[in-house]
Structure 1
Amino acid sequence: MGTVTNFFLCSFVVVMAQGEVKLQPDRPFLKVLHNGRAELECCYNATKLLDFTWYIRVQAENITLDPTIVNISELVTARTKKTKDGHCSILTFSSVQLNDTGLYLCWLNNSNINLFTYGTYLHVYKPLEKTLNLSENTKNKILTAEGILLFLCVLLPAATLICQSKKLSELEKKKVKREEENIYQGLNLDDCCETYEQIERALAHGPYQDVCNIKEEEEEIQLEKP
């Protein structure tokens, strides 16, 4: 609740002071590497020189805290400079840390004016460290080994299927041959011989008797009846 109240109060003060002071646009966002150098700047146009005080607003556990004064030290310095359009304050970080992340604002004040600038959000990041520090030669060897393993994973199943197909084909041929051999099992050879002789005799003499010559040949040849 206090944060919301402060925000509306600051907005009201800014509106009241716009007639005397014109704020120049701040840089909205600045991303800096950990232990890097960063410079934040806030400027305004006015006939009178105002006092600069740097504040930081941070967010903790989804709650935005009230602005706090930036501690000036050897690593964090502040200076002012005059430009052709007005005056500026520069906040310099010689080596930013992760806890320096936040929204930085300038508090401008004198006897009649008290207001915050728009502010710049400083984001300090740390690059991801390599879990395994491998050289390029080692990476190439690993990729080659992965390619060989992938090839084997494709080749071995295919070779196994081909071998199984050949075995099934050989078993099928053996089965057909065994069935052909079993056709003649259980047959009586004497019956087969008699049947064969009858077929041969029928083919040699014909299936019918000669009616015209039956009397003449009755004594000599015994014709078979149909």
Structure 2
Amino acid sequence: MLVLLVCSFYVLCVQSEVTLEPDKPSLKVEVSYTARLECCYNTSGSKEFLWIKSSKSANKNIVTHPLPDAVTENKKGESGIHCGVLILRSTTLNDTGFYRCFLNASVVFTHGTYLQVYRRLEKTIKLSESVKNGILATEGILLLLCVVLPSITLLFKSKTLNDLEKKKVKKEEENIYQGLNLDECYDAYDQLQQEHEQYEDVGSNEDMQLEKP
């Protein structure tokens, strides 16, 4: 227990001598390009450090491993700030991960930077500008036809319905007069005319005996 307390006290004292500088939270680099990662800190102790990478494995577990063979360099900034630089040349998709510096003497991890290596999307179909313009013009014509053709179809249907309605009315009128005898119509008209002539005006012939209808 005493040894554990001494070691903990030693670690806390050493850590108190280190001031971590803010790291770049993330970095995005295209495949085959060079990536430069920095971890900056201010310490009066040893400047030795080791880069640590954390990434997801095939079974989606987080795997952390050191990078002892990585290309690194030390850089001294303003106000005694020291920076460790990790250089990844010709990056691949497998270089994607979370990178931190481990300060050996202080037993401290820096904040770290997440590196994302991406591959640019390639065109599956390469078309020239003239072909693209032709496709756009064709799409415009098709869109116009999709709007005009239904309207023309509706107009023709409306005209056809009107013609059918007129034919139906004309046929009904013909059916009304069908079967009527014009001679009988004339005889009935003459009979009504004769009966009308038998009636007299009451105001002009008050003493006359009128025929009852």
- Superposition RMSD on alpha carbons, in Å? 2.8
State the distance in 1 between where 2:81 and 2:72 align.
Answer: 17
Q: Contact 2:21–2:41 (CA<8 Å) still a contact in 1?
A: yes
5+ unaligned residues in a row in structure 1: which ranges? 1-11, 215-222
Q: Which amino acid aligns with 1:147?
A: G
Aligned counterpart in structure 2 of residue 36 of structure 1, from 15, 33, 36: 33
The percent identity for this pair of structures is: 48
* Alignment match, 1:7: none
* Alignment match, 2:153: 160
Q: Which amino acid aligns with 1:180?
A: E
* Alignment match, 1:218: none
Name the CA shift for 1:169/1:47 in 2 (closer, same or farther; >3 Å).
Answer: same
Cα deviation, residue 40, structure 1: 0.7
State the distance in 2 between where 1:13 and 1:150 align.
Answer: 77
* Alignment match, 1:6: none
Q: Contact 2:53–2:98 (CA<8 Å) still a contact in 1?
A: yes
Name the CA shift for 1:13/1:42 in 2 (closer, same or farther; >3 Å).
Answer: farther
Name the CA shift for 1:202/1:51 in 2 (closer, same or farther; >3 Å).
Answer: same
Matched, 1:46 2:39: no
Cα deviation, residue 14, structure 1: 7.1
Q: Contact 2:50–2:68 (CA<8 Å) still a contact in 1?
A: no
SS of residue paired to 2:28: strand
Structure 2 counterparts to residues 209-224 of structure 1, below 5 A: none
Matched, 1:176 2:169: yes
Name the CA shift for 1:25/1:54 in 2 (closer, same or farther; >3 Å).
Answer: same
5+ unaligned residues in a row in structure 2: which ranges? 1-8
* Alignment match, 1:4: none
Q: How many residues are matched?
A: 200
Matched, 1:83 2:80: no
* Alignment match, 1:109: 104
Cα deviation, residue 13, structure 1: 8.9
* Alignment match, 1:5: none
SS of residue paired to 1:128: coil
State the distance in 1 between where 2:122 and 2:13 align.
Answer: 50
Q: Which amino acid aligns with 1:175?
A: K
* Alignment match, 2:67: 70
Name the CA shift for 1:35/1:71 in 2 (closer, same or farther; >3 Å).
Answer: farther
SS of residue paired to 1:58: strand
Cα deviation, residue 213, structure 1: 8.1
Cα deviation, residue 141, structure 1: 1.7
Cα deviation, residue 175, structure 1: 1.3
Aligned counterpart in structure 2 of residue 22 of structure 1, from 4, 8, 19: 19
TM norm structure 1: 0.76
Name the CA shift for 1:83/1:177 in 2 (closer, same or farther; >3 Å).
Answer: closer
State the distance in 2 between where 1:69 and 1:212 align.
Answer: 143
Name the CA shift for 1:158/1:179 in 2 (closer, same or farther; >3 Å).
Answer: same
Name the CA shift for 1:64/1:16 in 2 (closer, same or farther; >3 Å).
Answer: farther
Cα deviation, residue 211, structure 1: 8.9
Cα deviation, residue 127, structure 1: 1.9
